[in-house]
Amino acid sequence: MSALNIVAIGWTLLALAVFPTQFFVTAPYGRHTRTDWGPLISNRLGWCLMELVSLVVFGGLFLAGPAPKTAPMWVFFALWTAHYINRSLIFPWRTHTKGKTMPLAIVGSAAGFNIVNGTLNGLYLGWSSETYPAAWLTDPRFIVGLVVFAAGAAINSWADNRLIGLRSGGRQGYSIPRGGLFERVSCPNLMGEIVQWSGFALMCWNLPALSFAVWTAANLIPRAVSHHAWYRRTFADYPANRRAVIPGVL
């Protein structure tokens, strides 16, 4: 087993180990922002910086690596870069969060996390000798994984647009999101991202992609539970039948 795969296994085990603790510590940004975590920076700039490193690190390693770039690998590259172009260069500037801040410590920790994931996946695809033949495009794992990825990305994008729309026209503050999957769960945006990267792991079928999918779930499931609890505390009329992130389950 290669050193890269050993590191990916260790990184995955770390995600599983810290997963339970994340239900007790909510990262202080967004609706959970606090002022006792040190210096603050613009919310938009913070999002841009901490997500941009994924685009730069993964893209740089993939493109600079000596591994032959086959058609399936270019699909992986396109999906990763499209997601992070949106996350770092488009999404933050679409949000109606002008004047809001987040702790610089959160930006730094998130950037570090994204650097590790970008490095593992960029090294595997750009430098590993285990390349994907063109025939991988017809492998059931690739096809099903791509469908799952597309479905998750669509859910994530739809939910983001719905949340952004809640503050259109100069409206301020939080309100109860409604319609579509919001009638089933409080955080379809986070659910979509979990589904998306699970699909990516399936279509790539490698340990670095799996580690990223596990970390995504380990981070976002507790985050969704925190959001759900916040909604229930904040709005007396919050729908009682909604779950946090998995319809009918959690």
Integer-rounded Cα Rg, in Å, for the chain is 19
The b/e string for 166-201 (b: 16+ C-beta within 10 A; e otherwise) is eeeeeeeeeeebeeebbebbbbbbbbbbbbbbbbbb
User: CA 25, 30, 36, 42 torsion: positive or negative?
Assistant: positive
Q: What pLDDT shows up at residue 228?
A: 94
CA distance 107 to 105: 5
CA distance 238 to 176: 7
Helices (H), the chain: 3-18, 43-64, 71-85, 91-94, 104-127, 140-165, 188-204, 207-234
Q: Please give the model's pTM, rounded to 2 decimal places.
A: 0.93
Query: Facing residues of 185 across strands?
Result: 243
pLDDT digits (tens, 9 = 90+) for 34-76: 677 778 888 889 999 999 999 999 999 999 999 999 999 999 9
Q: What pLDDT shows up at residue 169?
A: 67
Q: What pLDDT shows up at residue 24?
A: 85
pLDDT digits (tens, 9 = 90+) for 88-112: 999 888 887 777 888 898 899 999 9
| Cα atoms found within 13 Å of the Cα of residue 176, Cβ hemisphere only | 17
Where in the chain are the domains? 3-234
Tokens representing 29? 């940004």
66: exposed, middle or buried (Cβ count in 10 Å: 0-12, 13-18, 19+): exposed
User: What parts of the chain have a pLDDT lower than 70?
Assistant: 1, 34, 169-170
Q: What pLDDT shows up at residue 2?
A: 87
Q: What pLDDT shows up at residue 157?
A: 95
Q: What pLDDT shows up at residue 130?
A: 76
Please check whether residue 106 is in contact with residue 35, taking contact to mean a CB–CB distance below 8 angstroms.
Answer: no
